[in-house]
């Protein structure tokens, strides 16, 4: 059947790619298309909609500042989380890369260990840390540093802490992979030409690790902006993100057409951000960062 085919035959390439393409079409493109169609359906009452096509859902989204405010807030929280992850994540990644510790794999394992525990439980654990009777408040009260508990839980601060906790390993791994791809002789060359350690880092290591940092920032931003559980558990109603709006519309109001509209909005906005980002950062750089 494959007689006469060459190794780089396009037909072979298509055959190899076909299963993945099929999965993408069935499990990604088709659901998104169905969601897009739903945005034009008419909401009748909780849990009931009809297929009479309408622009009412889009009109509501475009004219209601309530949604715009939450969208901007979501982008802000996502960006803040990504930047904090970038700042906090670079140093551990650099340390793991630079250390001469014999069992480096153990350090990498430590990064993965949190993933062995349920994400929800990890998020819940912050209630016992940030709460009024949590570790921090109890310690500060007993040391006499504060007179009454600090309000940390159910605030935007708690949400960002929870998101950083969740996303930091992704950032560290991205930066680490990028650092690992650097040819260390370049740093040795820089040093031999008179660079100090700090100069070698600034002129060689940092620029060459930027693709990993950029990929980590994009990943953290997209995941933070699309998160739902963390703000639900660690934030108050005011600290909700766009994902919570989608949840409430679909699960609370049982208004699927409007929920689908909001979902498509978030999908498109994050997609545009990712597209612009990769355009200016260079897609090849991002791919390099993600792939090592």
Which residues are at the interface with another protein (CB under 8 A)?
45-48, 66, 70, 127, 131-133, 151, 153-154, 232, 236-238, 240, 244-245, 248-255
* Choice between 35 and 182, CB closer to another protein: 35
* Choice between 180 and 248, CB closer to another protein: 248
Longest dimension (CA), the chain: 82
- Of the candidates 31, 3, 43, 97, the one whose C-alpha atom is nearest the C-alpha of residue 263 is 31
CB of 118 to another protein, least distance (A): 15
Residue 250: C-alpha distances to residues 38, 94, 140, 244 (Å): 12, 43, 42, 10
* Choice between 153 and 171, CB closer to another protein: 153
CB of 132 to another protein, least distance (A): 6
| Helix, strand, or coil (residue 227) | coil
* Choice between 244 and 263, CB closer to another protein: 244
* Choice between 202 and 238, CB closer to another protein: 238
Q: Do the beta carbons of residue 97 and residue 209 sit within 8 Å?
A: no
- Report how far apart the first and last C-alpha atoms of the chain are (Å, whole number): 37
Q: Which two tokens stand for residue 142?
A: 């007993």
CB of 24 to another protein, least distance (A): 22
**Where do runs of H (alpha helix) occur along 113-227?**
119-130, 135-142, 156-180, 184-192, 197-200, 206-225
Q: Give the C-alpha separation, 58 to 38, whole Å.
A: 11
CB of 44 to another protein, least distance (A): 8
* Choice between 156 and 187, CB closer to another protein: 156
CB of 231 to another protein, least distance (A): 10
* Choice between 162 and 216, CB closer to another protein: 162
- Of the candidates 269, 280, 164, the one whose C-alpha atom is nearest the C-alpha of residue 216 is 164
* Choice between 155 and 181, CB closer to another protein: 155
CB atoms within 10 A of CB 205: 20
Angle between the N-to-C axes of helices 156-180 and 119-130, in degrees from 0 to 180, rounded to the nearest 10: 130
CB of 70 to another protein, least distance (A): 7
CB of 241 to another protein, least distance (A): 10
DSSP 97-135: HH---TTHHHHHHHHHGGGGS-HHHHHHHHHHHHSTTSH
CB of 256 to another protein, least distance (A): 8
CA angle, residues 23, 25, 30, in degrees to nearest 5: 125
């Amino acid at each position: 059947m494959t007689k006469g085919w060459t190794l780089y035959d396009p037909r072979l390439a298509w055959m190899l790619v076909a299963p993945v393409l099929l999965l993408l079409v069935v499990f990604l493109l088709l659901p998104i298309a169905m969601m897009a169609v739903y945005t034009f359906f008419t909401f009748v009452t909780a849990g009931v909609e009809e297929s009479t096509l309408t622009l009412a859902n889009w009109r509501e989204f475009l004219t209601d500042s309530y949604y715009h405010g939450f969208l901007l807030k979501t982008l802000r929280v996502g960006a803040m989380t990504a930047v904090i992850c970038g700042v906090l994540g670079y140093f551990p990644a650099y340390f793991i890369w630079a250390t001469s510790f014999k069992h480096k794999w153990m350090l990498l394992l430590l990064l993965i260990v949190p993933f062995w525990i349920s994400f929800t439980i990890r998020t819940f654990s912050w209630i016992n840390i940030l709460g009024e009777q949590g570790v921090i408040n109890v310690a500060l009260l007993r040391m006499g540093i504060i007179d009454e508990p600090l309000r940390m839980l159910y605030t935007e601060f708690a949400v960002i802490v929870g998101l950083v906790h969740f996303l930091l390993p992704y950032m560290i791994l991205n930066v680490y992979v990028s650092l690992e791809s650097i040819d260390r002789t370049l740093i040795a060359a820089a040093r031999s030409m008179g660079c100090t350690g700090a100069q070698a880092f600034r002129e060689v290591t940092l620029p060459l690790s930027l693709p990993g940092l950029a990929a980590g920032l994009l990943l953290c931003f997209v995941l933070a902006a699309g998160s739902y559980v963390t703000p639900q558990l660690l934030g108050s109603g005011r600290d909700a993100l766009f994902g919570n709006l989608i949840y409430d519309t679909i699960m609370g109001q049982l208004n699927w057409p409007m929920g689908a509209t909001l979902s498509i909005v978030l999908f498109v906005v994050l997609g545009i951000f990712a597209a612009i980002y990769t355009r200016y950062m260079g897609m090849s750089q991002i791919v390099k960062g993600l792939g090592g």
